[in-house]
Amino acid sequence: MNSDVQVSVLGLGAMGSALAGALVKGGYATTVWNRSPGRTDDLVAQGAQAAATASDAVRAGEVVIACLLDHASVREVLDPLAGELAGRTLINVTTTTPDQSRELAAWAAEAGIAYLDGGIMAVPHMIGQAGASILYSGSAEVFEQYKPLLDLWAGSDYFGEDAGLASLYDLALLAGMYVMFAGFLHGAAMVAPAGVTAGDFAARATPWLTAMTGAFKGFADVVDGGDYTVAGQQSLLFSDLGDLLAATSGQGISTEVVDMVQRLIRRQVEAGHGEEGFARIIESIKRPAAEA
């Protein structure tokens, strides 16, 4: 049992409930609170204690976990409790922007609250399972002291004292995920008029896209080296997506997903870099179009 560490979890959506459940299963004395009623029942049945108010929950825990809707909800719940949180540890795993994470860290420091920020790279059912990862930044002391608790949830990676770094990595990784998902759905929409189901398309797309992730290292080496003329790269001119756009239009579907990539390519070609490698589109991404 880890009952010497009292933990309180604020927010019992699907993720907050999964985090709290893992703590209870791991033997931590866990108090739970949720703004709307009814969310505590299952956790209480597992052995958690329910708090009637957020204030009651904070007073019950030396470590307070915030897993709420967004940054505004975190401030709404925690601002009135700054005095009660003083001297305690706050671990915020609510999805926030890097600047919002830094703002909350500054607020916590002023109030005498030890602060660690977390970005969850998992869906709720992955908590406590292999493959889940949570990224942390902020107080190194908090990370080291409570790492056994954190490791109950997922693999724990620490990125430094800048409280915004975990959020930055989190959202950057999500950017790659969402654009990939959009590309898959674009492809599924393309083949649908031909009578191909999304399931059939997924069966072909999965091994192809998995294999293509092997190109990340090569792109990274080119970007870090800063030389987009290195031999062996596919040129921007060869990467022109005109045929893909024409086929998309021919299928009667939106070109928006492919248009985005084509614009990034064209900006570099028009700047005279057509013979250079595809990785050069990062130079288009680094600056808004109006500044390029």
Q: What is the pLDDT of residue 291?
A: 66
Looking at the structure, tell me whether residues 225 and 266 fall in a common domain.
yes
CB atoms within 10 A of CB 20: 31
Which tens digit of pLDDT belongs to each residue from 61-104? 999 999 999 999 999 999 999 999 999 999 999 999 999 999 99
- Judged against a pLDDT cut of 90, whether residue 289 lies above it is answered with no
pLDDT in tens, 155-171: 999 999 999 999 999 99
Q: Are 10 and 64 in contact (CB under 8 A)?
A: yes
Residue 3 has pLDDT above 80, yes or no: no
Mean pLDDT (the chain, rounded): 96
In sequence order, the 6+-apart residues with CB closer than 8 A to the CB of 171 are 97, 98, 119
* The total number of structural domains that make up the chain: 2
Q: Tell me: do 232 and 284 sit in the same domain.
A: yes
Condensed to tens digits (0 to 9), the pLDDT of residues 267-279 reads 999 999 999 999 9
pLDDT band at 205 (very low <50, low <70, confident <90, very high): very high
Q: For residues 236 and 102, state if they share a domain.
A: no
Q: Is residue 189 part of a domain?
A: no
Q: Which of 119, 153, 168 is the last residue of a domain?
A: 168
pLDDT in the model for residue 143: 98
How far CA 122 is from CA of 128, 173, 256, in Å, comes to 10, 12, 28
Task: Give the span between the Cα atoms of 65 and 134, in whole angstroms.
Answer: 14
Segment 222-276, tens digit of pLDDT: 999 999 999 899 999 999 999 999 999 999 999 999 999 999 999 999 999 999 9
Q: Provide the domain limits for residue 205.
A: 197-291
Q: Which residues pair with 268 in a beta bridge?
A: none
CATH of the domain at 223: 1.10.1040.10
> Of 149, 168, 187, which marks where a domain is finished?
168
Enter the tokens of residue 118: 């977390």
pLDDT at site 4: 86
Smallest Cα–Cα separation from 71: which of 27, 105, 47?
Answer: 105
Looking at the domain assignment, is residue 74 inside a domain? Answer: yes
